[in-house]
């Protein structure tokens, strides 16, 4: 894979420089401190284990940044970082620059997919015997949506009002 350093922002260059120079344990502790948290002994032991397996500190640090900053996870889960590191290593990502380029391409693809995604709705026409029957059925459906966190509230006072969550 071609190491694309030219299209990096200053922040990305700083991250790469830190990933190359700071030990994974210190890198982890630094990110956790910035998030108002702390690194657990299990997390520190985990990242140290990957160094012992011969994985470069810069790739480990980029994985930590990806998990804790980009994905905004609060902890480093063993299975998640193992899958991530294995995927990167199998893809030939051996430097912080290569990982950064890979992640940027991945993020662009995710944004593209989200933009192009259309939601399908059931548009089945339902006949009701009365306005009351319709309101009972509608309230049932709205309660389900409220329980699932899609809407904040609804009202049938003067008109039908539904407040969506964004």
Domain definitions of the chain by residue range: 10-116, 131-164
List the structure tokens of 4. 């694309």
CB 5 within 8 A of CB 102: no
Report the pLDDT value the prediction gives residue 23, as an integer from 0 to 100. Answer: 95
Asked if pLDDT for residue 3 goes beyond 50, the answer is no
pLDDT band for position 161 (cuts 50, 70, 90): low
3-state class (DSSP) for residue 126:
coil
pLDDT digits (tens, 9 = 90+) for 39-93: 999 999 999 999 999 999 999 999 999 999 999 999 999 999 999 999 999 999 9
Of 129 and 102, the one with more pLDDT: 102
Query: Distance (Å, rounded) from C-alpha 10 to C-alpha 27?
Result: 19
DSSP-derived secondary structure for 7-33: T--HHHHHHHHHHHHS-HHHHHHHHHH
Report the pLDDT value the prediction gives residue 132, as an integer from 0 to 100. Answer: 80
pLDDT digits (tens, 9 = 90+) for 10-49: 999 999 999 999 999 999 999 999 999 999 999 999 999 9
Half-sphere exposure of 148 (CA within 13 A, CB side): 7
């Amino acid at each position: 894979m071609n190491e694309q350093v030219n299209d990096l922002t200053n922040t990305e260059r700083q991250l790469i420089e830190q990933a190359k120079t700071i030990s994974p344990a210190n890198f982890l502790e630094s990110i956790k401190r910035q998030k108002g948290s702390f690194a657990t002994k299990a997390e520190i032991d985990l990242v140290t284990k990957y160094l012992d397996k011969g994985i470069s500190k810069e790739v480990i640090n980029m994985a930590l940044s990806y998990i804790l900053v980009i994905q905004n996870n609060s902890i480093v889960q063993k299975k998640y970082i193992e899958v991530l590191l294995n995927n990167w290593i199998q893809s030939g990502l051996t430097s912080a620059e290569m990982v950064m380029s890979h992640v940027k391409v991945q993020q662009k693809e995710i944004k593209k997919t989200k933009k192009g995604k259309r939601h399908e709705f059931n548009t089945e026409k339902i006949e009701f015997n009365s306005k009351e029957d319709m309101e009972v059925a509608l309230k049932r459906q709205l309660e389900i949506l409220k329980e699932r966190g899609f809407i904040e509230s609804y009202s049938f006072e003067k008109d039908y009002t539904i407040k969506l969550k964004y």
